[in-house]
Amino acid sequence: MRAILIVWTIVGVLPQVFGQASQFVSQTHPLTQHNTSTSSTVAKDSDLAALHCVPLWGEKAKTSQQKKEDAAFLKACDQSFETRTEASRFFAERGWEYIAEGELDTACYRFNLAQLLDEKNSDAYWGLGVVCHQKGNTPEAIRMLSKGVSCDSGNSILLDDLATLYIGKFQQTNATADLSQAFDLLNRSAVIDAANGTTYMKLALAEYLRSDFDKSWEYLHKCRQVDVQVLDFNFIEQLVSQKPDPQGIFNKAKE
């Protein structure tokens, strides 16, 4: 089973994705190309190839040519993998590898293929959300990760990632509904996995953003107790500047 490493960092109290990489070896699956004899057909093929790099192929009704390509792809996978679920995991793994390499369009295509093979594969939507985020499209990133959560509502890390996007959106719009969404997701995450230190780190940030510094310190110390490695000391320094650490552990960060 693939292991995903996700590193969220808080820089100036603004969470950003630094990386989400797979440990598997990349295997290419080139875009389908067609030999054509007319310029009109070439244009159509070019349009189809462009849709490979759009999440869920733009979510539009597929052409007959696209349906033929899908059928051929599924047939090939049925011959190469024991199940389509296994094939879907394989292509999602390739997608994470391409994200790590900065090949976002290629990654998007792999995640599209993963979703084609298994509409319930949360990793496919998760990866598409990360692609959208890295391309600067936060609304689409939230929509894709939300689809992932609907497939795997018990995934604490996925909930944390979606909450992080809502926190980032709140920092841009100051819409309380976005921060409320983040709290809802993080509280669900804490129930699912009480040992997930990242959840408490994000709750500390969310409380900071609504100026409840006592609660922020409370969650930060929960994070420290669960997993000291995910503490963000840039954030701690800002929190200390608003209110000293009630436990006195991090007050020296102000000096």
Domains (ranges, CATH) in the chain? 1-27+48-149 (1.25.40.10), 153-255 (1.25.40.10)
The residues near 128 (Cβ < 8 Å, ≥ 6 apart) are 55, 56, 108, 111, 112, 115, 144
Place of tokens 């389509």: 84
Q: For residue 100, how many C-alpha atoms fall within 13 Å in the half-sphere facing its CB?
A: 17
**Predicted pLDDT at 50:** 80
Q: What is the pLDDT of residue 96?
A: 96
pLDDT at 252: 67
Residue 52 is predicted with a pLDDT of 85
Question: What would the pLDDT profile of 45-57 be if each residue is shown by its tens digit?
Answer: 556 678 888 999 9
Check residue 47 and give its pLDDT.
Answer: 64
Give the model confidence (pLDDT) of 8-45 as tens digits.
Answer: 333 333 433 322 222 222 223 333 333 333 333 343 55
pLDDT computed for residue 51 by the predictor: 82
- For the chain, residues with pLDDT lower than 70 are 1-48, 252-255
State pTM to two decimals.
0.81
Which residues lie below 8 Å from residue 71, measured CB to CB, with a gap of 6+?
none
